[in-house]
Amino acid sequence: MPFVTIQIGEGHSIEKKRELAKAVTDTLVETLGTKREWVTIHIDEFNRDNWAVGGELHSDKHPGRHADKSV
């Protein structure tokens, strides 16, 4: 029973998360030969104010990037 945790920044639409879950599930089924109903995916979203690269917050380096487009 594969259990996958995917960490992504907040702001991706529900449609994109559906696409991601389907693509990862399809890959695991094809690669491991597991059953679709055994695949569990946890999407862990984090606030970009809590992510820094090279000493800079991601929200400062890329303001407006991945802004929620589902509104």
On whether residue 70 sits in a domain, the answer given is: no
On whether residue 49 sits in a domain, the answer given is: yes
Rounded average pLDDT over 18-47: 97
On whether residue 45 sits in a domain, the answer given is: yes
Looking at residue 62, what is its pLDDT?
77
Residue 18, burial from CB neighbour count under 10 angstroms (0-12, 13-18, 19+) = exposed
Looking at residue 70, what is its pLDDT?
45
Mean pLDDT score across all residues of the chain: 90
Catalytic residue among 1, 2, 19, 62: 2
Residue 27 maps to which CATH number? 3.30.429.10
Give the total number of structural domains in the chain: 1
Q: Are 41 and 24 in contact (CB under 8 A)?
A: yes
Q: Rounded to two decimals, what is the model's pTM?
A: 0.77
Question: How far is it, in rounded angstroms, from Cα 5 to Cα 10?
Answer: 15
Helices (H), 33-70: 58-61
On whether residue 17 sits in a domain, the answer given is: yes
On whether residue 69 sits in a domain, the answer given is: no
pLDDT in tens, 7-24: 998 989 999 999 999 999
Provide the residue range defining the domain that includes 50.
3-61
Q: Are 24 and 33 in contact (CB under 8 A)?
A: no
- The reply to whether 63 belongs to the active site is no
